[in-house]
Copies of this chain bind each other. A is one copy, B any other.
Amino acid sequence: MKKNNNGKLRIIPLGGLEQIGMNITAFEYEDSIVVVDCGLSFPEDDMLGIDLVIPDVTYLKDNIDKVKGFVITHGHEDHIGALPYVLREVNVPIYATKLTIGLIDNKLKEHNLLRNTKRKVIKHGQSINLGCFRIEFIKTNHSIQDASALAIYSPAGIVIHTGDFKVDYTPVFGDAIDLQRFAEIGKKGVLALMCDSTNAERKGFTMSERTVGKTFDNIFSEHKNTRIIIATFASNVDRVQQIINSAYKYGRKVAVEGRSMVNVIGTAAELGYLQIPDKTLVDIDQIKNYPDDKVVLITTGSQGESMAALSRMAANIHKKVTIKPNDTIIFSSNPIPGNEKAVSRVINELSRKGADVIFQDAHVSGHACQEEIKLIYSLVKPKYAIPVHGEYRHLKAQAGIARDLGIPKENIFILSSGDVLELNEEEPAKVKEKVKTGAILVDGLGVGDVGNIVLRDRQHLAEDGIMIVVLTLEKHSSRLLAGPDIVSRGFVYVRESEDLMDEARIVVEDAIDICLDKHITDWGKIKNIIKDSLGDFLWKRTKRNPMILPIIMEA
């Protein structure tokens, strides 16, 4: 599948546009492809029973000889989560910063892929050569440490990809975003900027993560006599660091609960991204040995996830922690859209147990707001603007910002997943073709074995349940040997609806009689007649539309 690029760089988002999550973008120039990020997304409300969603990488498989490696911007699930699945088919080396590789390694270990995957740690400021590309890692800030923007040097020009980022002049750990380097590369001339759009609808500047530290100090000083439990994102190591700092200051031990929280804190501490004073951390089993006012518990569950530690505490089914009246419980992260009701449910349950629930509305996000986006555009001064990371409304909002900054309309591209944008310095950039992309559903061990038909069936079953009609016909004669039996699930309380079920049986018997009278022996036809007559009857009587499944056996 050799393609003639005519000296053009091809940018191919294989996911991550039109949605938050599943970020993955291929950069192709002649016989080289590098892939930036390889994330998963979480299932939409109508994807019943699905655990997670990964991108369709058919294009990479079809061009496997060209693919030089994955370059990962940071360690969040929507940027690394699909690696264990995609690597099975596209096994190329992974390049990322130290913490990012640490978190990827955790995943690969779980999936037994560590031994067969090459990973390389890259430092900020360092570059790597992959085929005809050179990729430079630039320091940024985000709600996880070690995030990078990428400068992608291709024969057709330089592309800057910000990854997820914010501008934090006073980060909790490490350096601020390397604005000088953005400016320096901008001076050289940048062909295209692919910039994070998540907060492009929000005016102003995102606050520094450090501002959260002060509110922790306030809360600790106001609640000196109670146990403190704090829920936040496992991956927000800086937030955890600030909790540990406040705990240390106020003489409290820190325990950690929730699988992902334990994992991330372990990895971050081991790699030096988290400073924990001696004897501050105690095991969750030990907290009972300390008085309540000497303990802080950091836990998962800030989004009301039903199986997370805090939700289990709220529901009284956590094995090690029981919520007590007067516990001070802090939600240290705003609900992600869609999680509001779940969060509220947990808050109600905790309040009912007498706990004092505090919502730390810190207005601190990991993503750049409008003024930060303008800053990056002004430093980089790209020829083309390609907003990334966000739903359509966010991409469009960034396109508006780019317009305001003087980038001509025809140089701004709101791409869809699968679009192949071809560009160089000479000719106008253009979406040339579309490659296959899609969302592959992961359900249990199954990858891709649940698709639209299965989902539609699940939605149908969820809505009104199922009614199964079984009958046995005699071979050749088609005489009714047994049945019809009707069994339903998820439709009505059968015991309280005996009349309805009796009538349904008569409807089915009548339908079968008609088939026998008319000598209809085609099972498909018999099934359809049963389906239609029973469906009509049930709709008239209940205004419901259960799935009707006739099964004919032959004896």
Contacts and interface: CB of A to CB of B under 8 A. Distances in A.
A285 interface: no
Nearest to A500: B449
Interface stretch (A287-295, A345-353, A373-381): A345-353
Contact of A461 (B462, B541, B542, B553): B462
A248 to B, nearest CB: 31
A546 B242 CA distance: 44
A238 to B, nearest CB: 26
B543 A490 contact: no
A470 B484 CA distance: 12
Given A49-B462, A468-B551, A449 B497 contact: yes
Contacts of A555: 472, 481-482, 555
A455 B493 CA distance: 10
Contact of A543 (B445, B487, B547): B445
A18 B345 CA distance: 10
A170 to B, nearest CB: 28
Contacts of A410: none
B450 A487 contact: no
Interface in A346-380: 347-348, 351-352, 357
A444 B492 CA distance: 11
Contacts of A347: 393
A451 B485 CA distance: 23
A450 B443 CA distance: 28
Interface string A446-458: 1001110111011
A487 B444 contact: no
A197 B482 CA distance: 60
B444 A496 contact: no
Contacts of A455: 490
A515 interface: no
A492 to B, nearest CB: 5
A449 B464 CA distance: 12
Contacts of A443: 464, 542, 544
A48 interface: yes
A449 B344 contact: no
A305 interface: no
A392 B348 contact: yes
A391 interface: yes
Contact of A489 (B18, B348, B492, B547): B547
A454 B494 CA distance: 9
Interface residues of A, number: 65
A483 interface: yes
A446 B497 CA distance: 10
A517 B543 CA distance: 47
Contact of A485 (B463, B465, B496, B553): B553
A283 interface: no
A466 interface: yes
Contacts of A338: 340-341
A157 B378 CA distance: 70
Contacts of A482: 472, 553-555
A406 interface: no
A77 to B, nearest CB: 18
Interface string A473-490: 000000001110101011
B470 A551 contact: yes
28 contacts: A48-B462, A49-B463, A49-B464, A340-B340, A351-B396, A352-B392, A357-B393, A443-B544, A444-B542, A444-B544, A445-B544, A446-B492, A449-B492, A449-B493, A454-B490, A454-B491, A454-B492, A457-B489, A458-B462, A458-B463, A461-B461, A461-B490, A462-B462, A466-B489, A468-B468, A470-B551, A481-B555, A482-B554
Interface of A: 18, 44-45, 48-49, 337-338, 340-341, 344, 347-348, 351-352, 357, 391-393, 396, 443-446, 449-451, 453-455, 457-466, 468, 470-472, 481-483, 485, 487, 489-493, 496-497, 541-544, 547, 549, 551, 553-555
Given A444-B543, A446-B492, A458-B461, 12 more contacts: A48-B462, A48-B490, A337-B341, A351-B393, A443-B544, A445-B544, A446-B544, A454-B491, A458-B465, A461-B465, A472-B553, A487-B549
